[in-house]
Amino acid sequence: MTDLISGPGTGQSNAVSSHAETVAQPPIDGTQPMQWAPMEPAPKKRRLGLWIGLGAGAVAVAAAAASLFLIAPGTTIAGVPVGFMTPGAAAEAVSSRVASTEVQLTGVDGGASVDGADLGAGVDATALADQAFADRPMWNLGAWMGEPIAADLTLDTAVADSALRAAAPAAYTPATDATVVFDAKAATYTATPAEPGVGFSLDDLTDEFTAALTAGETSFAFSGEPTEVAPLITDEKAAAAVEKLNGMLAKVGFYVGDERTVPVAPEVAASWLTVAPVDGELQITADAAKIQSVVDTLASKVDREVVNARNIVDSDGKVLKALTEGKDGRVLGDTSTTAADFAEKLGSGDAAFALPVTSTPFESTNLFRRVEVDLSEQRTYLYENEKLVKSWAVSTGKAGTPTDKGRFRVYAQLRTQNMGREDTTVKPFYYTPNVPYITYYNGDEALHGTYWHSNFGTPMSHGCVNMTVDAARFVWEWATKGTEVWVHD
Protein backbone atom coordinates (compact mmCIF):
# COMPACT_ATOMS: atom_id res chain seq x y z
CA MET A 1 0.00 0.00 0.00
CA THR A 2 1.23 3.42 -0.85
CA ASP A 3 0.64 6.34 1.64
CA LEU A 4 -0.43 9.72 0.28
CA ILE A 5 0.75 12.75 2.25
CA SER A 6 0.94 16.44 1.59
CA GLY A 7 4.21 17.66 0.33
CA PRO A 8 6.05 20.15 2.51
CA GLY A 9 5.86 23.78 1.48
CA THR A 10 2.84 23.29 -0.72
CA GLY A 11 0.72 26.05 0.88
CA GLN A 12 -2.23 26.35 3.27
CA SER A 13 -4.19 23.54 1.58
CA ASN A 14 -1.10 21.57 0.56
CA ALA A 15 -2.74 21.33 -2.82
CA VAL A 16 -0.69 20.43 -5.89
CA SER A 17 -1.54 20.32 -9.53
CA SER A 18 -3.61 17.30 -10.64
CA HIS A 19 -1.03 16.48 -13.20
CA ALA A 20 1.98 16.66 -10.86
CA GLU A 21 4.43 13.82 -11.32
CA THR A 22 5.23 11.41 -8.46
CA VAL A 23 8.84 10.86 -7.48
CA ALA A 24 10.16 7.61 -6.02
CA GLN A 25 11.75 7.88 -2.56
CA PRO A 26 13.84 5.40 -0.74
CA PRO A 27 12.04 3.49 1.97
CA ILE A 28 12.20 5.05 5.37
CA ASP A 29 12.51 1.81 7.20
CA GLY A 30 14.13 -0.03 4.34
CA THR A 31 11.09 -2.20 3.67
CA GLN A 32 8.44 -0.31 1.66
CA PRO A 33 8.96 2.44 -0.89
CA MET A 34 6.96 5.72 -0.46
CA GLN A 35 5.70 8.23 -3.15
CA TRP A 36 4.38 11.86 -3.19
CA ALA A 37 0.79 12.02 -4.32
CA PRO A 38 -0.86 15.17 -5.71
CA MET A 39 -3.60 16.74 -3.53
CA GLU A 40 -7.11 17.66 -4.86
CA PRO A 41 -7.40 21.49 -5.36
CA ALA A 42 -9.63 23.28 -2.79
CA PRO A 43 -12.81 24.92 -4.23
CA LYS A 44 -12.66 28.74 -4.78
CA LYS A 45 -14.80 30.97 -2.48
CA ARG A 46 -17.59 33.02 -4.07
CA ARG A 47 -17.21 36.90 -3.71
CA LEU A 48 -20.44 38.12 -5.40
CA GLY A 49 -22.03 39.14 -2.11
CA LEU A 50 -19.01 41.26 -1.26
CA TRP A 51 -19.19 43.13 -4.58
CA ILE A 52 -22.91 43.75 -4.14
CA GLY A 53 -22.26 45.08 -0.66
CA LEU A 54 -19.55 47.44 -1.86
CA GLY A 55 -21.77 48.82 -4.65
CA ALA A 56 -24.63 49.54 -2.29
CA GLY A 57 -22.25 51.21 0.12
CA ALA A 58 -20.80 53.43 -2.62
CA VAL A 59 -24.29 54.53 -3.64
CA ALA A 60 -25.13 55.32 -0.05
CA VAL A 61 -21.93 57.34 0.37
CA ALA A 62 -22.57 59.19 -2.88
CA ALA A 63 -26.13 59.95 -1.85
CA ALA A 64 -24.96 61.19 1.51
CA ALA A 65 -22.33 63.36 -0.13
CA ALA A 66 -24.84 64.76 -2.63
CA SER A 67 -27.19 65.66 0.20
CA LEU A 68 -24.51 68.03 1.44
CA PHE A 69 -24.69 70.11 -1.75
CA LEU A 70 -28.33 69.94 -2.86
CA ILE A 71 -31.49 71.78 -1.89
CA ALA A 72 -34.23 69.75 -0.21
CA PRO A 73 -36.94 68.20 -2.39
CA GLY A 74 -40.21 70.10 -2.61
CA THR A 75 -38.53 73.52 -2.41
CA THR A 76 -39.76 76.23 -4.79
CA ILE A 77 -38.40 79.71 -5.37
CA ALA A 78 -40.71 82.16 -7.13
CA GLY A 79 -42.80 79.18 -8.22
CA VAL A 80 -39.81 77.33 -9.70
CA PRO A 81 -39.09 73.82 -8.28
CA VAL A 82 -35.45 73.72 -7.19
CA GLY A 83 -35.36 70.51 -5.13
CA PHE A 84 -32.38 68.24 -5.78
CA MET A 85 -30.52 71.24 -7.32
CA THR A 86 -27.31 72.92 -6.27
CA PRO A 87 -27.69 76.60 -5.34
CA GLY A 88 -26.02 77.59 -8.61
CA ALA A 89 -28.35 75.51 -10.71
CA ALA A 90 -31.33 76.76 -8.72
CA ALA A 91 -30.36 80.39 -9.29
CA GLU A 92 -29.99 79.74 -13.00
CA ALA A 93 -33.39 78.02 -13.16
CA VAL A 94 -35.12 80.89 -11.38
CA SER A 95 -33.45 83.54 -13.55
CA SER A 96 -34.34 81.59 -16.68
CA ARG A 97 -37.98 81.27 -15.64
CA VAL A 98 -38.24 85.01 -14.89
CA ALA A 99 -36.67 85.91 -18.24
CA SER A 100 -38.85 83.52 -20.27
CA THR A 101 -42.21 84.17 -18.61
CA GLU A 102 -44.56 85.51 -21.27
CA VAL A 103 -46.84 88.49 -20.75
CA GLN A 104 -49.84 88.54 -23.10
CA LEU A 105 -51.12 92.10 -23.49
CA THR A 106 -54.89 91.93 -23.78
CA GLY A 107 -57.06 94.76 -25.00
CA VAL A 108 -54.40 95.77 -27.50
CA ASP A 109 -55.31 95.92 -31.16
CA GLY A 110 -53.89 92.86 -32.91
CA GLY A 111 -52.58 91.46 -29.63
CA ALA A 112 -49.03 91.62 -28.44
CA SER A 113 -46.75 89.92 -26.00
CA VAL A 114 -43.44 90.47 -24.26
CA ASP A 115 -41.38 88.36 -21.91
CA GLY A 116 -39.47 88.99 -18.72
CA ALA A 117 -36.23 89.61 -20.54
CA ASP A 118 -37.91 92.29 -22.68
CA LEU A 119 -39.12 94.01 -19.51
CA GLY A 120 -35.82 93.89 -17.67
CA ALA A 121 -37.49 91.66 -15.06
CA GLY A 122 -35.26 90.32 -12.36
CA VAL A 123 -35.05 88.77 -8.90
CA ASP A 124 -32.03 88.25 -6.69
CA ALA A 125 -31.90 84.59 -7.70
CA THR A 126 -28.42 83.94 -6.32
CA ALA A 127 -29.25 85.26 -2.86
CA LEU A 128 -32.57 83.36 -2.81
CA ALA A 129 -30.93 80.08 -3.87
CA ASP A 130 -28.13 80.46 -1.34
CA GLN A 131 -30.64 81.17 1.41
CA ALA A 132 -32.80 78.21 0.33
CA PHE A 133 -29.81 75.89 0.56
CA ALA A 134 -28.79 77.35 3.93
CA ASP A 135 -32.31 76.91 5.36
CA ARG A 136 -33.27 73.73 3.52
CA PRO A 137 -30.33 71.46 2.75
CA MET A 138 -31.25 68.05 1.35
CA TRP A 139 -29.75 66.19 4.28
CA ASN A 140 -32.25 67.84 6.65
CA LEU A 141 -35.33 65.63 6.17
CA GLY A 142 -37.39 68.05 8.22
CA ALA A 143 -36.85 70.73 5.55
CA TRP A 144 -38.33 68.65 2.75
CA MET A 145 -41.55 69.87 1.13
CA GLY A 146 -41.27 73.29 2.75
CA GLU A 147 -43.37 76.38 2.11
CA PRO A 148 -42.80 78.17 -1.23
CA ILE A 149 -40.14 80.89 -1.17
CA ALA A 150 -41.44 84.21 -2.50
CA ALA A 151 -39.26 86.58 -4.52
CA ASP A 152 -39.34 90.35 -4.89
CA LEU A 153 -39.60 90.98 -8.62
CA THR A 154 -38.41 94.25 -10.13
CA LEU A 155 -38.76 95.69 -13.60
CA ASP A 156 -36.18 97.98 -15.14
CA THR A 157 -38.34 101.07 -15.57
CA ALA A 158 -36.66 102.41 -18.69
CA VAL A 159 -36.31 98.97 -20.35
CA ALA A 160 -39.90 97.95 -19.57
CA ASP A 161 -41.31 101.27 -20.74
CA SER A 162 -39.42 101.00 -24.02
CA ALA A 163 -40.51 97.39 -24.62
CA LEU A 164 -44.17 98.09 -23.91
CA ARG A 165 -44.18 101.16 -26.13
CA ALA A 166 -42.71 99.08 -28.97
CA ALA A 167 -45.17 96.24 -28.42
CA ALA A 168 -48.30 98.40 -28.12
CA PRO A 169 -47.57 101.90 -29.45
CA ALA A 170 -51.27 102.76 -29.80
CA ALA A 171 -51.74 102.36 -26.06
CA TYR A 172 -49.30 105.17 -25.31
CA THR A 173 -49.50 108.91 -25.14
CA PRO A 174 -45.98 109.88 -24.09
CA ALA A 175 -45.54 111.72 -20.82
CA THR A 176 -43.55 114.94 -20.99
CA ASP A 177 -40.57 114.97 -18.67
CA ALA A 178 -39.69 118.06 -16.71
CA THR A 179 -36.54 119.68 -18.02
CA VAL A 180 -33.81 121.91 -16.62
CA VAL A 181 -32.30 124.73 -18.70
CA PHE A 182 -29.91 127.62 -18.10
CA ASP A 183 -31.45 131.10 -18.38
CA ALA A 184 -28.58 133.24 -19.66
CA LYS A 185 -30.38 136.50 -18.93
CA ALA A 186 -31.04 135.62 -15.28
CA ALA A 187 -27.77 133.64 -15.03
CA THR A 188 -29.60 130.81 -13.24
CA TYR A 189 -31.07 127.41 -14.00
CA THR A 190 -34.84 127.05 -14.29
CA ALA A 191 -37.22 124.11 -14.77
CA THR A 192 -40.06 123.48 -17.21
CA PRO A 193 -43.00 121.47 -15.78
CA ALA A 194 -43.76 117.83 -16.56
CA GLU A 195 -46.99 116.50 -18.07
CA PRO A 196 -48.38 112.99 -17.38
CA GLY A 197 -49.03 110.59 -20.27
CA VAL A 198 -51.11 107.47 -20.88
CA GLY A 199 -49.79 103.90 -20.95
CA PHE A 200 -49.35 100.74 -18.91
CA SER A 201 -48.97 100.79 -15.15
CA LEU A 202 -45.62 99.23 -14.36
CA ASP A 203 -46.59 98.85 -10.70
CA ASP A 204 -49.66 96.78 -11.65
CA LEU A 205 -47.62 94.77 -14.15
CA THR A 206 -45.00 94.03 -11.49
CA ASP A 207 -47.68 92.81 -9.06
CA GLU A 208 -49.30 90.50 -11.64
CA PHE A 209 -45.94 89.21 -12.84
CA THR A 210 -45.04 88.35 -9.25
CA ALA A 211 -48.36 86.58 -8.72
CA ALA A 212 -47.89 84.53 -11.89
CA LEU A 213 -44.40 83.46 -10.86
CA THR A 214 -45.59 82.45 -7.41
CA ALA A 215 -48.31 80.34 -8.97
CA GLY A 216 -45.76 78.60 -11.19
CA GLU A 217 -47.22 80.01 -14.40
CA THR A 218 -44.99 80.51 -17.43
CA SER A 219 -47.46 82.83 -19.15
CA PHE A 220 -50.15 85.25 -17.98
CA ALA A 221 -52.46 87.88 -19.41
CA PHE A 222 -52.19 91.55 -18.56
CA SER A 223 -54.83 94.10 -19.47
CA GLY A 224 -53.69 96.56 -22.07
CA GLU A 225 -56.17 99.21 -20.98
CA PRO A 226 -54.20 102.40 -20.65
CA THR A 227 -53.81 104.27 -17.39
CA GLU A 228 -52.20 107.58 -16.53
CA VAL A 229 -48.45 107.26 -16.55
CA ALA A 230 -46.28 109.66 -14.60
CA PRO A 231 -43.26 111.13 -16.37
CA LEU A 232 -39.89 109.70 -15.48
CA ILE A 233 -38.52 113.17 -14.72
CA THR A 234 -41.02 114.74 -12.34
CA ASP A 235 -41.32 118.37 -11.29
CA GLU A 236 -39.83 117.42 -7.93
CA LYS A 237 -36.74 115.91 -9.55
CA ALA A 238 -36.30 118.95 -11.76
CA ALA A 239 -36.69 121.33 -8.81
CA ALA A 240 -34.07 119.41 -6.85
CA ALA A 241 -31.68 119.59 -9.83
CA VAL A 242 -32.28 123.35 -10.22
CA GLU A 243 -31.54 123.93 -6.54
CA LYS A 244 -28.36 121.86 -6.77
CA LEU A 245 -27.15 123.56 -9.95
CA ASN A 246 -27.81 127.11 -8.74
CA GLY A 247 -26.01 126.28 -5.52
CA MET A 248 -23.04 125.20 -7.61
CA LEU A 249 -23.12 128.43 -9.65
CA ALA A 250 -22.92 130.46 -6.44
CA LYS A 251 -19.54 129.02 -5.51
CA VAL A 252 -18.03 127.53 -8.67
CA GLY A 253 -14.36 128.29 -9.07
CA PHE A 254 -10.77 127.38 -8.27
CA TYR A 255 -9.80 127.80 -4.63
CA VAL A 256 -6.64 128.35 -2.67
CA GLY A 257 -7.61 127.45 0.87
CA ASP A 258 -10.92 129.17 1.62
CA GLU A 259 -10.31 131.85 -1.01
CA ARG A 260 -12.10 131.55 -4.35
CA THR A 261 -8.99 132.72 -6.16
CA VAL A 262 -10.35 132.18 -9.68
CA PRO A 263 -14.15 132.54 -9.77
CA VAL A 264 -16.00 131.09 -12.76
CA ALA A 265 -18.88 133.12 -14.18
CA PRO A 266 -22.28 131.37 -14.21
CA GLU A 267 -22.54 131.43 -17.99
CA VAL A 268 -19.08 129.89 -18.32
CA ALA A 269 -19.86 127.14 -15.82
CA ALA A 270 -23.18 126.47 -17.57
CA SER A 271 -21.30 126.02 -20.85
CA TRP A 272 -19.33 123.24 -19.18
CA LEU A 273 -22.37 121.41 -17.82
CA THR A 274 -24.93 119.12 -19.40
CA VAL A 275 -28.12 118.09 -17.60
CA ALA A 276 -29.76 115.04 -19.16
CA PRO A 277 -32.14 112.24 -18.11
CA VAL A 278 -30.46 108.90 -17.39
CA ASP A 279 -32.47 105.93 -16.09
CA GLY A 280 -35.23 108.20 -14.87
CA GLU A 281 -32.95 110.67 -13.11
CA LEU A 282 -31.38 113.96 -14.12
CA GLN A 283 -27.65 113.49 -14.39
CA ILE A 284 -25.09 116.30 -14.38
CA THR A 285 -21.95 115.87 -16.47
CA ALA A 286 -19.13 118.29 -17.26
CA ASP A 287 -16.90 118.68 -20.32
CA ALA A 288 -13.24 118.46 -19.28
CA ALA A 289 -12.08 119.88 -22.63
CA LYS A 290 -13.99 123.12 -22.01
CA ILE A 291 -12.69 123.35 -18.46
CA GLN A 292 -9.14 123.01 -19.76
CA SER A 293 -9.33 126.41 -21.47
CA VAL A 294 -9.69 128.03 -18.04
CA VAL A 295 -7.11 125.76 -16.42
CA ASP A 296 -4.58 127.04 -18.97
CA THR A 297 -4.95 130.57 -17.51
CA LEU A 298 -4.68 129.63 -13.84
CA ALA A 299 -0.96 130.25 -13.33
CA SER A 300 -1.23 133.92 -14.29
CA LYS A 301 -4.09 134.37 -11.81
CA VAL A 302 -2.70 132.33 -8.93
CA ASP A 303 1.06 132.91 -8.87
CA ARG A 304 2.25 135.99 -6.93
CA GLU A 305 5.21 137.31 -5.01
CA VAL A 306 5.11 137.43 -1.23
CA VAL A 307 3.88 140.77 0.20
CA ASN A 308 5.03 141.50 3.75
CA ALA A 309 2.63 143.18 6.16
CA ARG A 310 3.14 146.63 7.81
CA ASN A 311 0.92 147.41 10.78
CA ILE A 312 0.48 150.33 13.17
CA VAL A 313 0.34 148.98 16.72
CA ASP A 314 0.00 150.35 20.21
CA SER A 315 2.37 149.85 23.14
CA ASP A 316 0.74 146.46 23.84
CA GLY A 317 1.38 145.25 20.30
CA LYS A 318 -2.29 145.40 19.31
CA VAL A 319 -2.74 146.12 15.62
CA LEU A 320 -4.52 149.46 15.17
CA LYS A 321 -4.29 149.66 11.41
CA ALA A 322 -2.83 147.60 8.59
CA LEU A 323 -0.77 149.88 6.39
CA THR A 324 0.06 147.03 4.04
CA GLU A 325 -1.95 143.83 4.05
CA GLY A 326 0.32 140.82 4.11
CA LYS A 327 -0.06 138.21 1.37
CA ASP A 328 1.59 134.83 1.09
CA GLY A 329 3.59 134.14 -2.02
CA ARG A 330 2.06 131.43 -4.24
CA VAL A 331 3.18 129.11 -7.02
CA LEU A 332 0.66 126.87 -8.79
CA GLY A 333 1.51 123.17 -8.80
CA ASP A 334 0.81 120.41 -11.32
CA THR A 335 -2.49 120.90 -13.16
CA SER A 336 -2.18 118.11 -15.72
CA THR A 337 -5.29 116.33 -14.38
CA THR A 338 -7.13 119.37 -13.04
CA ALA A 339 -9.70 119.63 -15.86
CA ALA A 340 -10.65 115.96 -15.66
CA ASP A 341 -10.72 116.00 -11.86
CA PHE A 342 -12.89 119.11 -11.77
CA ALA A 343 -15.27 117.63 -14.35
CA GLU A 344 -15.75 114.62 -12.09
CA LYS A 345 -16.36 116.82 -9.03
CA LEU A 346 -18.90 118.95 -10.91
CA GLY A 347 -20.74 115.80 -11.94
CA SER A 348 -21.17 114.93 -8.26
CA GLY A 349 -22.34 118.46 -7.40
CA ASP A 350 -19.11 119.84 -5.93
CA ALA A 351 -18.24 123.16 -7.59
CA ALA A 352 -15.24 124.18 -5.46
CA PHE A 353 -11.91 122.90 -6.76
CA ALA A 354 -8.89 123.14 -4.45
CA LEU A 355 -5.76 124.02 -6.42
CA PRO A 356 -2.33 122.51 -5.69
CA VAL A 357 -0.30 125.50 -4.52
CA THR A 358 3.05 125.98 -2.81
CA SER A 359 2.90 128.95 -0.43
CA THR A 360 5.57 131.21 1.05
CA PRO A 361 4.28 132.90 4.23
CA PHE A 362 4.60 136.68 4.54
CA GLU A 363 6.37 138.47 7.40
CA SER A 364 4.95 141.32 9.46
CA THR A 365 6.58 144.60 10.47
CA ASN A 366 4.88 146.34 13.40
CA LEU A 367 5.18 150.08 13.86
CA PHE A 368 4.50 151.43 17.34
CA ARG A 369 3.55 155.06 16.78
CA ARG A 370 2.87 157.64 19.47
CA VAL A 371 2.41 161.41 19.77
CA GLU A 372 4.02 163.45 22.51
CA VAL A 373 3.05 167.07 23.35
CA ASP A 374 5.48 168.97 25.57
CA LEU A 375 3.60 171.91 27.08
CA SER A 376 6.68 173.51 28.54
CA GLU A 377 8.47 173.41 25.19
CA GLN A 378 5.31 174.11 23.18
CA ARG A 379 6.38 171.37 20.85
CA THR A 380 4.91 168.15 19.46
CA TYR A 381 6.97 165.04 18.72
CA LEU A 382 6.08 161.93 16.66
CA TYR A 383 7.81 158.64 17.47
CA GLU A 384 7.86 155.37 15.55
CA ASN A 385 9.32 152.39 17.42
CA GLU A 386 10.75 155.03 19.78
CA LYS A 387 12.64 156.79 17.01
CA LEU A 388 11.82 160.44 16.38
CA VAL A 389 10.02 160.94 13.07
CA LYS A 390 8.90 164.59 13.17
CA SER A 391 8.81 167.54 15.53
CA TRP A 392 7.05 170.94 15.26
CA ALA A 393 6.48 174.05 17.32
CA VAL A 394 2.81 174.23 18.37
CA SER A 395 0.43 176.45 20.31
CA THR A 396 -1.43 174.80 23.19
CA GLY A 397 -4.05 176.24 25.55
CA LYS A 398 -3.75 179.65 27.14
CA ALA A 399 -3.69 180.03 30.90
CA GLY A 400 -7.48 180.46 31.07
CA THR A 401 -8.15 177.48 28.79
CA PRO A 402 -5.22 175.14 29.45
CA THR A 403 -4.57 171.91 27.57
CA ASP A 404 -5.19 168.86 29.78
CA LYS A 405 -2.21 166.76 30.73
CA GLY A 406 -2.26 162.96 30.71
CA ARG A 407 -2.12 159.87 28.53
CA PHE A 408 -4.84 159.58 25.89
CA ARG A 409 -5.68 157.80 22.65
CA VAL A 410 -6.92 159.15 19.34
CA TYR A 411 -10.64 158.37 19.06
CA ALA A 412 -11.71 160.29 15.94
CA GLN A 413 -10.29 162.07 12.92
CA LEU A 414 -12.06 164.58 10.65
CA ARG A 415 -10.96 166.09 7.38
CA THR A 416 -12.53 169.45 8.27
CA GLN A 417 -14.99 170.89 10.80
CA ASN A 418 -16.48 174.16 12.01
CA MET A 419 -15.43 174.80 15.62
CA GLY A 420 -17.22 176.92 18.22
CA ARG A 421 -20.54 178.73 17.63
CA GLU A 422 -21.55 181.27 15.09
CA ASP A 423 -23.15 183.14 18.00
CA THR A 424 -20.00 184.13 19.84
CA THR A 425 -21.95 185.70 22.71
CA VAL A 426 -22.35 182.25 24.25
CA LYS A 427 -19.78 179.64 25.13
CA PRO A 428 -17.29 178.83 23.86
CA PHE A 429 -17.33 182.45 22.71
CA TYR A 430 -15.55 181.76 19.43
CA TYR A 431 -16.33 180.47 15.97
CA THR A 432 -13.76 179.12 13.52
CA PRO A 433 -15.08 177.60 10.31
CA ASN A 434 -13.40 174.90 8.21
CA VAL A 435 -10.72 173.86 10.64
CA PRO A 436 -8.57 171.33 8.70
CA TYR A 437 -7.09 167.93 9.60
CA ILE A 438 -8.52 167.34 13.07
CA THR A 439 -7.27 164.49 15.28
CA TYR A 440 -9.34 164.21 18.49
CA TYR A 441 -7.72 162.54 21.48
CA ASN A 442 -9.41 163.99 24.65
CA GLY A 443 -13.02 165.15 24.57
CA ASP A 444 -13.06 168.35 22.50
CA GLU A 445 -9.26 168.64 22.55
CA ALA A 446 -7.51 167.83 19.28
CA LEU A 447 -4.43 168.38 17.20
CA HIS A 448 -5.52 170.38 14.16
CA GLY A 449 -4.39 172.74 11.43
CA THR A 450 -4.42 176.45 12.15
CA TYR A 451 -4.73 179.07 9.42
CA TRP A 452 -5.67 182.08 11.57
CA HIS A 453 -2.30 182.62 13.27
CA SER A 454 1.33 181.66 12.92
CA ASN A 455 2.50 182.37 16.45
CA PHE A 456 3.53 178.76 17.08
CA GLY A 457 5.67 178.12 20.17
CA THR A 458 3.34 180.31 22.28
CA PRO A 459 0.08 179.18 23.99
CA MET A 460 -2.76 180.51 21.84
CA SER A 461 -5.65 178.05 21.89
CA HIS A 462 -8.78 177.22 23.87
CA GLY A 463 -7.20 173.84 24.80
CA CYS A 464 -6.41 172.30 21.43
CA VAL A 465 -2.96 171.82 19.98
CA ASN A 466 -2.61 174.30 17.14
CA MET A 467 -0.31 173.23 14.32
CA THR A 468 0.56 174.44 10.87
CA VAL A 469 -1.80 173.01 8.26
CA ASP A 470 0.98 170.89 6.76
CA ALA A 471 2.00 169.54 10.18
CA ALA A 472 -1.63 168.78 11.10
CA ARG A 473 -2.12 166.96 7.80
CA PHE A 474 0.97 164.83 8.46
CA VAL A 475 -0.36 163.86 11.91
CA TRP A 476 -3.84 163.19 10.48
CA GLU A 477 -2.38 160.77 7.90
CA TRP A 478 0.29 159.25 10.17
CA ALA A 479 -1.79 158.55 13.29
CA THR A 480 -4.89 156.37 13.50
CA LYS A 481 -7.67 155.54 15.90
CA GLY A 482 -6.02 154.19 19.04
CA THR A 483 -2.72 156.02 18.60
CA GLU A 484 -1.38 157.01 22.02
CA VAL A 485 -1.01 160.73 22.88
CA TRP A 486 1.03 161.83 25.90
CA VAL A 487 0.61 165.45 27.05
CA HIS A 488 2.98 166.64 29.76
CA ASP A 489 4.99 169.59 31.01
Q: Break the chain into its structural domains and give their ranges.
A: 1-40, 51-171+197-230, 253-263+274-360, 366-488
Cβ-contact 103, 115 below 8 angstroms:
yes
Cα atoms in the Cβ-side hemisphere of radius 13 Å centred on 316: 6
- Whole-structure pTM value: 0.55
Q: What are the two backbone dihedrals, phi and then psi, of residue 231, each rounded to the nearest 5 degrees?
A: -65, 155
Cα atoms in the Cβ-side hemisphere of radius 13 Å centred on 403: 30
The architecture (CATH level 2) of 366-488 comes to: Beta Barrel (2.40)
* Alpha carbon distance 174, 197 (integer Å): 5
* Alpha carbon distance 60, 50 (integer Å): 15
**H-assigned helices in 273-403:** 288-295, 298-302, 338-347
Cβ-contact 245, 346 below 8 angstroms:
no
Q: What are the two backbone dihedrals, phi and then psi, of residue 283, each rounded to the nearest 5 degrees?
A: -110, 135
- pLDDT given for residue 379 in this prediction: 98
Spatial CA neighbour of 382 closest among 370, 367, 396 = 370
Q: What are the two backbone dihedrals, phi and then psi, of residue 26, each rounded to the nearest 5 degrees?
A: -70, 150
Tens of each residue's pLDDT in the chain, 489 residues: 333 333 344 344 443 344 444 444 444 444 444 444 445 555 555 554 444 454 545 444 545 666 788 999 999 999 999 999 999 999 999 999 999 999 998 877 767 899 999 999 999 999 999 999 999 999 999 999 999 999 999 999 889 988 988 888 888 888 899 999 999 999 999 999 999 998 888 888 999 999 999 999 999 999 867 788 789 999 999 999 999 999 999 999 999 999 999 999 999 999 999 999 999 999 999 999 999 999 999 999 999 999 999 999 999 999 999 999 999 999 999 999 999 999 999 999 999 999 999 999 999 999 999 999 999 999 999 999 999 999 999 999 999 999 999 999 999 999 999 998 888 888 888 899 999 999 999 999 999 999 999 999 999 999 999 999 999 999 999 999 999 999 999
- pLDDT given for residue 172 in this prediction: 83
* Alpha carbon distance 81, 74 (integer Å): 7
- pLDDT given for residue 157 in this prediction: 87
Secondary structure element (H or E) that encloses residue 121, with its range: strand 121-122
Q: Provide the 10 A C-beta neighbour count for residue 371.
A: 24
Task: Report helix, strand or coil for 79.
Answer: coil
